[in-house]
Structure 1
Amino acid sequence: MIRADFYEKQGLLIGFEFSGHSGYAEAGEDVVCAAVSSAVQLTVNILDSLGVTTDVKVGENVINCKVKDNDKDSAVILEQLRLHFEAILEEFPNTINITISEV
């Protein structure tokens, strides 16, 4: 199962950490992992293109991204990512565990 942890501060999303595999199919054939990976990469790229300062760390099967300056625009982008994952989860149950933690 993919673990999707979102970070929230003062009611706004400020980052995320994703790890794991969905288990929907074998590596290289897993559409859920592909959808999640693509959405995460797009989100990081959009934040970067808007000039949002982020701290991004990529490891073996994990990515962590935190916005340095908490603002509504970046929070909206991160909220859309969360909603995208909710939609994936509806289509492919038991593949993503989504949590939101106050930091």
Structure 2
Amino acid sequence: MIRAEFYEKKGLLTGFKFSGHSGYANAGEDVACAAVSSAVQLTANILDELGCSPDVKVGDNVIECICGNGGDVPSGVLNVLKQHFEAILEEFPNTIKIIISEV
């Protein structure tokens, strides 16, 4: 299962950390993982393009992105990502665990 942790501060999303594998299919054939990976990369690029200065760290099977300047814009983008994950979860049950952590 993919662990999708969103960071929240004072009611606004400020970043995320994702790890794991959905388990829907074998690596390389897993459409749920592909959807998540693509959405995460797109979100980090959008945050960068909008001037949100995301600090992105990529490790083995984990990615973390934190928007240091916070605010409505990054929170809005991250909320859309969360909604996208909720839609993926609806289509592919038991593939993503969404967590909101206060920071």
Query: TM-score w.r.t. structure 1 length?
Result: 0.99
Letter in 2 for 1:54: P
Distance 1:71 1:102 in 2: 15
Could you tell me how far 1:11 is from its partner in structure 2?
0.1
Could you tell me how far 1:98 is from its partner in structure 2?
0.3
Distance 1:23 1:84 in 2: 18
Letter in 1 for 2:6: F
Could you tell me how far 1:54 is from its partner in structure 2?
1.4
1:9 aligns with 2:36: no
Q: Which runs of 5+ in 2 are unaligned?
A: none
Identity %: 70
Q: Which residue of 2 aligns with 1:31?
A: 31
Q: Which residue of 2 aligns with 1:56?
A: 56
Q: Which residue of 1 aligns with 2:40?
A: 40
Q: Which runs of 5+ in 1 are unaligned?
A: none
Aligned CA-pair RMSD: 0.4
Q: Which residue of 2 aligns with 1:83?
A: 83
Report Cα offsets for 1:34-71 as digits up to 9, x if no partner.
Answer: 00000000000000111111111000000000001011
SS at match of 1:48: helix
SS at match of 1:8: strand
Report Cα offsets for 1:62-85 as digits up to 9, x if no partner.
Answer: 000000101101100000000000
State the number of aligned residues: 103
Which ranges of 4 or more aligned residues in structure 1 deviate by more than 4 Å?
Answer: none
Letter in 2 for 1:51: G
